[in-house]
């Protein structure tokens, strides 16, 4: 046992890293997420080489296997007021960005043992959707489940999001799903034995235009009818909840005290640990490359580690789902859109709710570690898979944040990253059977809110796959786009 501190910023010891390696986290990005090393003020400069050295010696990894590791800009902690002064051409779309590695071409990370030749259910995607579904299927007694992910767990949107969890939605379906998810989140740590740092500080929405103000009022009335205690507040009254806000230009606010935030990574690990304990398998660094189809069914899933025949396939590959579906000749209307986000140095607790200016898509909350975590959509962001980080985002975010929270100008940004929103034409998910391939089940299109929906959606999908009828899988079926039967959700941030 060693109490030698390896990452002084985050108090990570040699023993913590050894525990992570023993639990099977064998690439740098996964060890970083599991232990928190490299996420503090020095941005990994003092501890990365020590962890890499441990992975070489304890996990017998070398050279190429030490990737992926993505250094996060800004390269040194930088005050938001300085970032706000960076010039940005708001009329032009963002370009490029500092790229990230998901380790996809890294053969050294691919497990060497063969995949099983057969599984009852193959789940494509080890994000929150795939893992939560597999966990729920295992609760229903299904053990022959294989979850495949082309990268490490948490590589997709599920490991890159803001952890916001809210009941404030614009449709009855989403309100009910979010209510159930929050109920499940409350019991998650006790049930799964892993802390997800769930904190119900509420969500405070700010509206600056009349149109957004009306939207908040309309949805609050709907919430109240469904047992959600959302209050419409004046800017002045809302300042009692967060006195530091200027409320510049704000017409009206909506507040639900039961909304909150969780820390995303342990949420995935909790599901992954639970389902593997029950005999299901999760195979990372395993890419689905095609399908064997015959007589209108998927017979096998092809991967870069061999083929797996199966009875049913669930497509839960988030924003990558359209490209995977295309391998089976299925066209999905989802489009990936980059969303950028950042985290600051830790501060003493001062911010109860997650605050969002609905008009601009600005949102920020304070994590249990004290950091401000926040993002903002960019109306000029083109569709496409791009996980790069930009100075443009830092500058736009900093200006929008300082307008509402002037004290934030003195806070330093420690790291930024980006993830893909999985956007559908009506901002609602795609669920249920594929009309042309009934044993290919869809579970994608969750835009910027899949994290909070996953527990409830997965619970219902597992029951539905077990034979229980459920209107959700008809309402949100892929067929709705061809039938012109859209399910619009307008309480979208960003």
Task: List interacting residues with ligand FAD (CB under 6 A).
Answer: 124-130, 148-151, 155-158, 160-164, 287-288, 316-320, 324, 339, 341, 375, 419-421, 444, 446, 448-452
> Which residues lie closer than 8 Å to 119 by C-beta, 6 or more apart?
144, 145, 146, 281, 308, 309, 310
CB 209 to ligand FAD: min, Å: 23
Contact 268, 154 (CB under 8 A): yes
Beta bridge partners of 255: 204, 231
CB 320 to ligand FAD: min, Å: 3
Contact 288, 104 (CB under 8 A): no
Q: What are the structure tokens assigned to 341, written together?
A: 């986000």
Q: CA-to-CA distance for 229 and 166, rounded, in angstroms? A: 12
CB 82 to ligand FAD: min, Å: 23
CB 484 to ligand FAD: min, Å: 25
Contact 12, 47 (CB under 8 A): yes
Q: Pick between residue 32 and residue 160 the one whose CB is nearest to ligand FAD.
A: 160
CB 465 to ligand FAD: min, Å: 17
CB 9 to ligand FAD: min, Å: 23
Q: Region of 467 please: left (phi>0), alpha (psi -120 to 50) or beta.
A: left
CB 284 to ligand FAD: min, Å: 9
Q: Pick between residue 47 and residue 284 the one whose CB is nearest to ligand FAD.
A: 284
In three-state secondary structure terms, 113 is coil
In three-state secondary structure terms, 36 is coil
Q: CA-to-CA distance for 211 and 207, rounded, in angstroms? A: 8
115-119-125 Cα angle (round to 5): 75
Which pairing describes strands 362-366 and 354-357: parallel, antiparallel, or unpaired? antiparallel
Q: Pick between residue 6 and residue 28 the one whose CB is nearest to ligand FAD.
A: 28
> Which residues lie closer than 8 Å to 455 by C-beta, 6 or more apart?
132, 180, 181, 184, 185, 188
Q: What are the structure tokens assigned to 444, written together?
A: 């994608």
Go through the chain and tell me how many residues it has: 494
CB 285 to ligand FAD: min, Å: 9
CB 174 to ligand FAD: min, Å: 11
Contact 297, 283 (CB under 8 A): no
Q: Pick between residue 14 and residue 492 the one whose CB is nearest to ligand FAD.
A: 492
DSSP designation for 191: H
Q: CA-to-CA distance for 188 and 161, rounded, in angstroms? A: 19
- Output the CA–CA distances (angstroms, integers) from residue 119 to 12, 141, 307, in the order listed: 39, 14, 11
User: Phi/psi at 104 (nearest 5 deg)?
Assistant: -70, -35
Q: Pick between residue 74 and residue 419 the one whose CB is nearest to ligand FAD.
A: 419
CA-based end-to-end distance of the chain: 47
Q: Pick between residue 230 and residue 416 the one whose CB is nearest to ligand FAD.
A: 416
Q: Pick between residue 17 and residue 272 the one whose CB is nearest to ligand FAD.
A: 272
Q: Pick between residue 34 and residue 54 the one whose CB is nearest to ligand FAD.
A: 34
Q: Pick between residue 163 and residue 202 the one whose CB is nearest to ligand FAD.
A: 163
Q: Pick between residue 353 and residue 375 the one whose CB is nearest to ligand FAD.
A: 375
């Amino acid at each position: 046992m060693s109490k030698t501190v390896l990452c002084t910023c985050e108090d990570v010891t040699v023993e913590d890293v050894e525990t992570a390696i023993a639990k099977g986290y064998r690439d740098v990005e996964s060890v970083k997420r599991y232990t928190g090393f490299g996420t503090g003020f020095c941005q990994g400069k003092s501890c990365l080489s020590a962890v890499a050295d441990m992975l070489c010696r304890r996990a017998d990894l070398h050279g190429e296997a030490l990737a992926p590791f993505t250094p996060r800009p800004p390269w040194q902690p930088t005050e938001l007021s300085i970032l706000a002064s960076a010039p940005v051409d708001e009329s032009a779309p963002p370009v490029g960005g500092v790229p990230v590695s998901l380790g996809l071409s890294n053969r050294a990370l691919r497990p060497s043992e063969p995949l099983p030749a057969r599984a009852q259910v193959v789940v494509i995607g080890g994000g929150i959707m795939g893992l939560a579904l597999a966990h729920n299927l295992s609760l229903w007694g299904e053990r022959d489940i294989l979850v495949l992910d082309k990268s490490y767990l948490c590589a997709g949107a599920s490991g890159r999001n803001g952890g916001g969890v809210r009941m404030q939605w614009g449709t009855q379906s989403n309100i009910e799903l979010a209510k159930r998810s929050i109920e499940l989140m409350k019991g998650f740590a006790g049930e799964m034995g892993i802390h997800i740092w769930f904190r119900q500080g509420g969500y405070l929405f700010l509206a600056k235009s009349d149109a957004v103000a009306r939207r908040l009022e309309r949805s609050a009335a709907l919430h109240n009818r469904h047992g959600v205690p959302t209050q419409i507040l004046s800017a002045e009254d809302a300042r009692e909840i967060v006195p530091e806000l200027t409320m510049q230009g704000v017409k009206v606010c909506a507040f639900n005290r039961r909304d909150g935030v969780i820390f995303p990574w342990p949420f995935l690990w909790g599901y992954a640990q639970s389902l593997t304990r029950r005999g299901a398998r999760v195979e990372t660094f395993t890419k689905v490359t095609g399908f064997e189809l015959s007589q209108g069914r998927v017979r096998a899933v092809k991967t870069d580690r061999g083929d797996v025949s199966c009875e049913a396939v669930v497509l839960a590959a988030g924003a990558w789902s359209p490209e995977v579906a295309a391998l089976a000749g299925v066209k999905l209307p989802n489009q990936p859109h980059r969303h950028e986000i950042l985290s600051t140095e830790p501060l003493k607790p001062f911010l109860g709710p997650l605050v969002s200016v609905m008009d601009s898509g600005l949102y920020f909350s304070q994590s249990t570690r004290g950091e401000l975590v926040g993002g903002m959509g960019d109306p000029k962001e083109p569709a496409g898979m791009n996980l790069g980080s930009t100075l443009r985002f830092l500058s736009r975010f900093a200006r929008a944040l300082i307008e509402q929270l002037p004290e934030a100008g003195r806070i330093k940004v420690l790291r930024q990253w980006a993830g893909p929103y999985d956007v559908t034409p009506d901002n609602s998910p795609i669920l249920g059977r594929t009309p042309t391939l009934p044993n290919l089940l869809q579970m994608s299109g969750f835009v910027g809110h899949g994290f909070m929906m996953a527990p409830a959606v997965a619970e219902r999908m597992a029951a539905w796959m077990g034979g229980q009828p459920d209107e959700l899988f008809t309402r949100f079926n892929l067929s709705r786009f061809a039938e012109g039967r859209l399910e619009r959700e307008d309480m979208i941030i960003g």
